[in-house]
């Protein structure tokens, strides 16, 4: 194994992931625990960090470490102030906050803030954006990046900088409606069975809603079941299609995509596949995705901060 140069940490709401990176940003080792900031035992972040990495830290003492995600939020280990748009790797490196873990320093990456009448923030996604630009230099001049998830982010990139972004609470809305409303009850009681056709039906219903949106269609997740037109076991796929379709309908009709019509997806492969299926129903077939750009982003920001020497980021 090559000599490690950097420990990269992705510490979000639901999980803690660590990456051991070599001199060319290659992945030498990785590990994960379900110790997101909401599930860290006793909220003892320092102890969780040391437990996860104790053998790495013992074998390579003094190895630089950099971390991204909600661990730098107000609810995390230490709040790291946001950097304002536009932001790039150098701006993020300038905003690093170093904390003592009890086993060396961990440098936390700031999130990004967008000002204006409707201020917006992101934390963790900025590292994935930086990584995407490192892996795909063709995106540097101008790109639209979509990071689907609990809070989907549509990020505009120009001249290598994160210029602005929009947030859609699609994943969280789905979870709330599934677990805490009458829309989710039939499927949860009957047993959830996935159905791609039903999912596409939901996307199409949102797409065809025009400027009206889906507010008057959400109840149909229940009424279609009651009328026998939709099996209860498939109703959550219909709800998912409605919500993802509404996200696309709204985003694609806005200024974010006026000059860059085809976004690049960053995120979980299964979720990205679901979004690609939805895009195809909107007549957009050329959507592609990048897997795990966060590792490349951690490396690139560490480079900009002088924590590692300059090397090219390579695909595995």
Q: Is the pLDDT of residue 163 over 80?
A: yes
Average pLDDT over residues 92-102: 96
Q: What pLDDT score does 311 carry?
A: 54
Q: Is the pLDDT of residue 256 over 60?
A: no
* Adjacent-strand bridge partners of 108: 67, 97
pLDDT at 290: 94
CATH class of the structural domain 6-140+292-304: alpha beta
Virtual torsion, Cα 65, 47, 295, 243, nearest 10 deg: -140
Indicate the CATH number of 168-290 among 3.30.360.10, 3.65.10.10, 3.30.420.310, 3.40.50.20. 3.30.420.310
Predicted TM-score (pTM) above 0.85? yes
Q: What residue segments make up the domains of the chain, in order of their start? A: 6-140+292-304, 168-290
Is residue 227 over pLDDT 80?
A: yes
pLDDT-derived band at 275, boundaries 50, 70, 90:
very high
| CA–CA separation, 233 and 191 (whole Å) | 6
Dump pLDDT digits (tens) for 106-129. Answer: 999 999 999 999 999 999 999 999
Tell me: pLDDT of 316 over 50: no
Contact 151, 171 (CB under 8 A): yes
How far from chain centre, in Å, is Cα 219? 29
Label residue 170 by pLDDT band (50, 70, 90): very high
Distance in angstroms (rounded) separating the CA atoms of residues 23 and 299: 10
Has residue 258 got a pLDDT over 70? no
Tens-place pLDDT, residues 22-76? 988 899 999 999 999 999 999 999 999 999 999 999 999 999 999 999 999 999 9
263, pLDDT greater than 50: yes
Whether 6-140+292-304 shares its CATH topology with 168-290 is answered yes
Distances (CA, A) of 200 to 138, 222, 311: 32, 17, 44
User: Please, which pLDDT band fits residue 309 given cuts at 50, 70 and 90?
Assistant: confident
pLDDT band at 207 (very low <50, low <70, confident <90, very high): very high
Question: What CA–CA distance (Å, rounded) separates 103 from 46?
Answer: 9
**What pLDDT shows up at residue 232?**
96
């Amino acid at each position: 194994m090559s000599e490690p140069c950097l420990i990269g940490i992705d510490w979000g709401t639901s999980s803690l992931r660590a990456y051991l990176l070599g001199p060319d940003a290659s992945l030498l080792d990785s590990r994960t625990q379900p110790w997101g900031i909401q599930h860290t035992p006793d909220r003892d972040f320092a102890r969780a960090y040391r437990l996860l990495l104790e053998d790495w830290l013992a074998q390579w003492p003094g190895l630089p470490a950099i971390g991204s995600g909600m661990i730098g939020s107000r609810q995390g280990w230490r709040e790291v102030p946001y950097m304002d748009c536009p932001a790039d790797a150098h701006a993020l490196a300038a905003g690093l906050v170093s904390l003592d873990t009890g086993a060396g320093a961990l440098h936390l990456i700031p999130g990004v803030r967008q000002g204006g009448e409707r201020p917006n923030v992101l934390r963790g996604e900025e590292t994935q954006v930086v990584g995407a630009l490192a892996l795909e230099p063709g995106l540097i001049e101008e790109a639209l990046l979509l990071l689907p998830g609990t809070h989907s982010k549509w990020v505009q990139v120009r001249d290598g900088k994160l210029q602005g972004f929009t947030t859609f609470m699609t994943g969280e809305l789905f979870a709330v409606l599934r677990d805490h409303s009458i829309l989710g009850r039939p499927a949860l009681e009957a047993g959830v069975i996935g159905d791609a056709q039903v999912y596409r039906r939901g996307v199409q219903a949102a797409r065809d809603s025009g400027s009206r949106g889906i507010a008057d269609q959400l109840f149909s997740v229940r009424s279609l079941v009651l009328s026998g037109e939709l099996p209860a076991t498939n109703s959550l796929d219909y709800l998912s299609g409605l919500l993802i379709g509404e996200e696309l309908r709204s985003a694609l009709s806005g200024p974010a995509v006026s000059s860059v019509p085809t976004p690049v997806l960053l995120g979980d492969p299964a979720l990205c596949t679901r979004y690609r299926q939805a895009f195809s129903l909107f007549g957009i077939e050329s959507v592609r995705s990048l897997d795990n750009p966060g590792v490349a982003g951690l490396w690139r920001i560490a480079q900009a901060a002088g924590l590692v020497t300059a090397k090219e980021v390579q695909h595995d």
